Amino acid sequence: MLKGMPSDGIRFDLDSIEIPTYPAPSHRGIPRGSSVMSDRKIFIVGAGGLGREVLATLEASGEDVCGFLVEGNFPAGQTAGIPVYNDSTMWLAAETIAVAIGDAVVRRRLAPIVKDRSFVTRHPAANIGPRVSIGMGTAIIGIANITCDVSIGDYVLINPGCTVSHDCSIGSFSNLGPSVSLAGNVHVGQGVNLGTGAIVLPGCTIGDGATIAAGAVVTKHVEPGTTVYGVPAKRSV
């Protein structure tokens, strides 16, 4: 639990908290000789491996990363040369937040705290086609292809190598592991976890909270809350 923060939200006496000055941003993602620089000062929620991937994505995009934010039961310090903060004051001070939490349950829990400040992380090498909507707090952290007429919910994680084809929808808090492929007109519910290399064939619907094992090939609808694996994918018993 966030230090000084109850589970149902932020309840600090704001008048008693001194908001600190932001630390100097890293600017490490700015190409040499480039004068293009974002005015945003971004903090990343989560300082693990995914946090470092989000950091690399933001720096490649020329964004200013001021620090990582973690909950009070995690240590402060540094990650990849960037400060890590675990105190509630910095959580309040952060104006723009990129979410780097792999666990969708934790993302859902933290969403009410960061929702008004959430930033869409998009790798500059990602190919995003026309009429694609992307919800707040979503992260596309590598080369991915999202073709056209796609709807992506809030706080979705799309890993490198993914393909999302025409007329797909992805519900909030879902995870697409590396190299997941969604064919046309696939509908993924909320809180779905698609493992590395999973393939979903055209027209299939994946119910809320389902898990698709790594390497599975989905050929028909998957019921909510179920786990499927194999080629073709079948329900785990």
Residue 110 has pLDDT above 60, yes or no: yes
Q: Which residues contact 134 (CB under 8 A, 6 or more apart)?
A: 120, 122, 128, 140, 152
At 136, list the tokens. Answer: 């707040």
Residue 232: helix, strand or coil by DSSP? coil
User: What is the average per-residue pLDDT within 131-140?
Assistant: 96
pTM: 0.83
- One domain for residues 160 and 218: yes
Q: Which of 23-37, 80-94, 108-122, 180-194 has the lowest mean pLDDT?
A: 23-37
Q: What is the CATH number of the domain that holds 189?
A: 2.160.10.10
Half-sphere exposure of 3 (CA within 13 A, CB side): 15
- One domain for residues 114 and 148: no
Residue that is last in its domain, among 62, 86, 119: 119
Q: In this structure, are residues 106 and 26 in contact, taking their beta carbons and an 8 Å threshold?
A: no
Q: In this structure, are residues 147 and 129 in contact, taking their beta carbons and an 8 Å threshold?
A: yes
pLDDT tens sequence across 196-231: 999 999 999 999 999 999 999 999 999 999 999 999
Residue 5, in any domain of the structure: no
- One domain for residues 100 and 129: no
Residue 88, in any domain of the structure: yes
- One domain for residues 146 and 73: no
Residue 124: helix, strand or coil by DSSP? coil
